[in-house]
Amino acid sequence: MKLKVLRKYRKLKVYGEELKALSGSAAKKYRKEHSAELTEYGQIRTKVLELYPSGNIPTVESLDKKINALIGERSLKDQQFREADKRARDLADTQRTIEEFLRQERSATNFTTISADRNTRSCGSQI
């Protein structure tokens, strides 16, 4: 939004500067011929001063640079997030695989123990 306002301000600023340079009847004539632009300039100037109360208005180019730097930063963070998310999903899959393996091992161990107990009991009753 700031960039849009500044671009419009930059476009309309020439009307305000031209009016400042004129005086008397020339200024009156200019005001009459460019009243729509001057009204729009006044409104956009108010918005700019609301955004930048100190009066230090950045250039469109400097805002473009900041925006591009932030876009680059966001892209990097997004890539890092995607990599971390993939790693987290891989770790969750690995954890599920290990848990399933351990369940199967416990089942096999329990089965072997139960079978061994039965064999011991059946052998002991024959003696």
| Cα–Cα distance, 101 to 79 (Å, whole number) | 33
pLDDT in tens, 7-20: 898 899 999 999 99
Kindly report, residue by residue over 80-125, the tens digit of the pLDDT.
Answer: 999 999 999 999 999 999 999 999 988 888 766 666 666 666 555 5
| Amino acid letter, 84 | A
Which runs of consecutive H residues, i.e. helices, occur in the chain? 2-21, 24-33, 35-51, 60-126
State if pTM tops 0.85: no
Amino acid letter, residue 41: Y
What is the Rg, in whole angstroms, of the alpha carbon atoms belonging to the chain? Answer: 38
Distances 5 to 50, 51, 98, 106 between C-alpha atoms, Å:
11, 9, 58, 69
As a whole number of angstroms, the distance between CA 81 and CA 88 comes to: 10
